[in-house]
Copies of this chain bind each other. A is one copy, B any other.
Amino acid sequence: MVSLAPKYRPMQRVFEALASSVRRQILAYLSHTELNAGEIAARFAMSKASISQHLSILEAAGLVESERRGQFIFYRQVPDNLVNALHGFVQEACPKGRPLKRESAALAEKGSRTDNR
């Protein structure tokens, strides 16, 4: 009988955000550069309104942040947050001795734990 984490916990929001391939693709675009909402929307066969909604979900999950500059609103990844969330998860869910687990453990050792779980 585990008491499950409430829905609003950071970890939950992150994984819900990552469940959509559209949102994962947006994150991939933002891994190289920042882009404004229109530039992002132009890369999908979907209305701007829908992309805007996806962006707000990514933002609520703490994975991206936005900044208005003049007429445009630019989006960029929040550094570390995605890594930290995945790291926290891998910590609990990956079998011991697996590569990513070992790497994450090493990472944890070094400090800099923001603990997104």
Question: Which residues of A approach B to under 8 Å, CB–CB?
Answer: 1-2, 4-5, 7, 11-12, 15-16, 18-19, 21-22, 24-25, 27-28, 31-32, 42-45, 77, 79-80, 82-83, 86-87, 89-90, 92-96, 98-101, 103-104, 106-107
Contacts and interface: CB of A to CB of B under 8 A. Distances in A.
Contacts of A11: 21, 24
A12 to B, nearest CB: 6
This chain's copy number in the assembly: 2
B4 A21 contact: yes
Nearest to A45: B1
B21 A18 contact: no
Contact of A94 (B31, B90, B107): B31
Contacts of A24: 11, 15, 89, 92-93
